[in-house]
Amino acid sequence: MAYDHLLSPITIGDLTLRNRVVMGSMHTGLEDHVRDIPRLSAYFAERARGGVGLIVTGGYAPNKRGWLKPLAAEMSSRLHAARHREVTAAVHEEGGAIALQVLHAGRYAYVPWSVSASAIKAPINPFKPHALSTKGVESTVSDFARSIALARKAGYDAVEIMGSEGYLINQFLAERTNQRTDRWGGTASNRQRFPVEIVRRARELVGADFPIMFRLSLIDLVEGGQTWEETIDLAYALQDAGVSVLNTGIGWHEARVPTIITQVPRGAWLDFTARLRSEVSVPVCASNRINTPELADAAIAEGKADLVSMARPLLADPEFVAKAAQDRADEINTCIGCNQACLDHAFSNKAASCLVNPRACRETTLVLSPVRTRKRVAVVGAGPAGLSAAVSAAERGLEVTLFEKGEEIGGQFRLAMAVPGKEDFTDTLRYFGRRLEVLGVDVRLKTEATLADLQQYDDVIVATGVAPRVPSLDGVDLPGVVSYADVLSGRVDPGQRVAVIGAGGIGVDVSTWLTQEHPETLDEWMEHWGVGDPAYHRGGLVEPAPRTPARHVTLLQRKTTPIGIGLGKTSGWAHRARLKQEAVRMVSGAAYEGIEAGPEGGLVVRYRVDGEPQTLSVDTVVLCAGQESVRDLWVERAGWHLIGGADVAAELDAKRAIEQGTRVAAAL
Ligand code: NAP
Ligand code: SF4
């Protein structure tokens, strides 16, 4: 059997899981409203049908003070438990198992009545928490235990206590946030009393065999975080108190080290998991930046973990496990760690979905139902929009022909995967390529479709994409002025001093490409972000090692706002930090005047800032000034559909393109 370590069963307490894949907890927004319970049930049921061993829900608060935001999900009454029966039954009907995660947000709660171990404000939340009184701590422990008992009544097969990522339990554990002087603060064992008591009290209520998982913060990545010794002592104490599995979390939400986005090397945290596993006797679950069955299987085969938690990869492909088991791993729609439709949505109060799988969390509303009459569909353009339209239409049973004038599929996405830290994007094209093959789509590369070619089709989807915008600026036609496509495709080799005009997502990506000479190893990545061994450095933080940029880059924009402010909510900060590490000079409010030939074959960019004339001597100017739609083929007529960048180029991203492609195919 392929992936036989990952796909072998495991017993935890009174629960035998069919394999070791855990769909990790992820807040989707569907948890927060009773009206969304049918959608939540369908979302989980689809993953259970796809073979996952154990699903963990998003976080449910044990009481109102633990809400993540006003009216957030809570499990604190029999009524709540009764409502959840629909969710648990849906998963059980598909042969799956499901755990409820109990999460108290503590000082991360976006409410003015938030509480924490001490009244210390989080840097990522405007609300300052109130310190829980000693009585308040005791009643919070009781609320956690009651919530866990209610989960069992609701039909959950297990629970997970959220003790990582900087939420309330983590706030009790770290000196950084716990400055109490009662029995719940001070020494490490006093700080650990809160989670240990929760587990002990919950165990009393649910009996010896009900599986209780605890998500432990393996490495806090914040100043004043826990030491490795404290973490291991906590693991022992939790084990003694009755925890069945130790899951692992990495970094607090306020940490300034990225932990899950694309640029974090795959499997980056596995060695820390292995160290924990070597200390304890309960099973240990690995998490964060594990997104393929190969990596997950190897983690178990090499004894680094007993289970592997994958939250976003199961959002991206509900059939992840089934495909792995059927030796169809090359058909897995791999999570690319972009956060654009999952965490960025969750942290912006929007329902989560997935960039590469827009059906995620929309299982009941975006349905690719089989067609009754077999129609012929032409898709023109094999960028993200065209690819998703072609694959989705073929999945419905339509006869699809895909025209692409280039030599390969991928469009703008092919350029994105050349950016350092975005190598995972290659997997999306592998997925689309393989699905086109399996579904029998007639792919015609190096073929420019004509109106005559398209006459014979019942539906025509025009997804001809975008072309880089050339700003009307004196000197843009000089040699040495190139487009981002020239750079990322490798057609030109930029000089040592480069000006990048336009600081949107692509300007930032191109700056990263220009400054990084070779792919980073995991050790280099850790050094540059200042990740050290928590056995020697509290919280696992050390002074970041400086980077040596391969080129001197100046990144310019006309807007006066800080550069990169429009990037993803949960990843933009890391891209901006990276530019600083690479000493990229950032200029906002640049009023361009033109580009001129400079001495020794160079170029001079002239612009003003606050009316003051500026000059910049460079070897190369890279234009990253957005895109314009390419729609020469487009004709408004029945059965014709315009999607992706060909439809609207402004701020087009792959999320919108793939979703639009799927929606148009669903409606054919
Ligand atoms: P974009 O985000 O629209 O940025 C284009 C940039 O060009 C703007 O910063 C704009 O800034 C500048 N610009 C526009 N017209 C100009 C002109 N006539 N002359 C000079 N400058 C001009 O587009 P993009 O960077 O090409 O990215 C395309 C899409 O891909 C976007 O939706 C982007 O979010 C997405 N993407 C996202 C990421 C990510 O990390 N999340 C990465 C890559 C791409 P000023 O007007 O201020 O000069
Ligand atoms: Fe993964 Fe991006 Fe989808 Fe989130 S939106 S699950 S990070 S591919």
Alpha carbon nearest to ligand 2 atom 1, residue: 335
- pLDDT value at residue 276: 98
Q: Which ligand is nearest to the CA of 416?
A: 1
- pLDDT value at residue 653: 86
- pLDDT value at residue 601: 85
Alpha carbon nearest to ligand 2 atom 8, residue: 335
Residue whose CB lies within 8 A of the most ligand 1 atoms, among 344, 413, 557, for a mutation test: 557
pLDDT-derived band at 600, boundaries 50, 70, 90: confident
In sequence order, what are the beta bridge partners of 140? none
CATH number for the domain harbouring residue 544: 3.50.50.60
- pLDDT value at residue 348: 87
Residue 570 in tokens: 């949960």
pLDDT-derived band at 297, boundaries 50, 70, 90: very high
CATH number for the domain harbouring residue 313: 3.20.20.70
User: Measured from the CB, is residue 503 less than 6 Å from ligand 1?
Assistant: yes
Across the chain, mean pLDDT equals 96
Alpha carbon nearest to ligand 2 atom 3, residue: 354
Does pLDDT of 322 surpass 90? yes
Does pLDDT of 338 surpass 90? yes
Q: Which ligand is nearest to the CA of 506?
A: 1
Atom index in ligand 1 nearest the CA of residue 592 equals 20
CATH number for the domain harbouring residue 419: 3.40.50.720
SS3 state of residue 78: helix
- 495 part of a folded domain: yes
- 475 part of a folded domain: no
Atom index in ligand 2 nearest the CA of residue 355 equals 5
- 362 part of a folded domain: no
Whether residues 230 and 242 share a domain: the answer is yes
Q: Which ligand is nearest to the CA of 425?
A: 2
Whether residues 648 and 525 share a domain: the answer is no
Does pLDDT of 652 surpass 70? no
Please indicate whether residue 167 is annotated as part of the active site. Answer: yes
- pLDDT value at residue 2: 87
Whether residues 610 and 640 share a domain: the answer is no
- pLDDT value at residue 321: 98
Please give the helix or strand (H or E) that residue 285 lies within, else none.
strand 284-286
How many domains is the chain partitioned into structurally?
Answer: 3
- 473 part of a folded domain: no
Whether residues 131 and 149 share a domain: the answer is yes
The type of residue at 428 is: T
Which residues are CB-neighbours of 428 under 8 A, at least 6 positions away? 333, 334, 336, 356, 384, 413
Q: For residue 105, how far is the Cα from the chain centroid? A: 20
Residue whose CB lies within 8 A of the most ligand 2 atoms, among 355, 357, 659, for a mutation test: 355
- pLDDT value at residue 122: 97
Does pLDDT of 478 surpass 80? yes
Catalytic residue, from 3, 43, 108, 167: name it.
167
Q: pLDDT tens for residues 102-161?
A: 999 999 999 999 999 999 999 999 999 999 999 999 999 999 999 999 999 999 999 999
pLDDT-derived band at 1, boundaries 50, 70, 90: low
- pLDDT value at residue 490: 93
pLDDT-derived band at 312, boundaries 50, 70, 90: very high
Whether residues 461 and 520 share a domain: the answer is no
Mean pLDDT of 45-66: 97
| Interval between CA 419 and ligand 1 midpoint (Å) | 16
- pLDDT value at residue 464: 97
Atom index in ligand 1 nearest the CA of residue 472 equals 18
Whether residues 597 and 651 share a domain: the answer is no
User: Measured from the CB, is residue 376 less than 6 Å from ligand 1?
Assistant: no
Q: At what angle do helices 134-153 and 78-93 cross, to 10 degrees?
A: 40
Mean pLDDT of 314-320: 98
| Interval between CA 381 and ligand 1 midpoint (Å) | 22
Whether residues 47 and 145 share a domain: the answer is yes
User: Measured from the CB, is residue 344 less than 6 Å from ligand 1?
Assistant: no
- pLDDT value at residue 349: 85
Whether residues 153 and 296 share a domain: the answer is yes
Domain residue limits at 220 = 10-346
Residue 394 in tokens: 């073929």
User: Measured from the CB, is residue 336 less than 6 Å from ligand 2?
Assistant: yes
Whether residues 26 and 152 share a domain: the answer is yes
Whether residues 182 and 220 share a domain: the answer is yes
Whether residues 535 and 406 share a domain: the answer is no
CA distance 362 to 364: 5
pTM to 2 decimals?
0.95
Query: Percent helix, strand and coil across the chain, each rounded to 5?
Result: 35, 20, 50
- 334 part of a folded domain: yes
Whether residues 207 and 301 share a domain: the answer is yes
- 361 part of a folded domain: no
Tokens 């990582």 locate to: 164
Atom index in ligand 1 nearest the CA of residue 507 equals 25
- 2 part of a folded domain: no
- 365 part of a folded domain: no
Mean pLDDT of 487-493: 95
Mean pLDDT of 26-47: 95
Asked which of 346, 361, 388 is the last residue of a domain, the reply is 346
Residue 311 DSSP symbol: S
| Interval between CA 501 and ligand 1 midpoint (Å) | 10
- pLDDT value at residue 651: 72
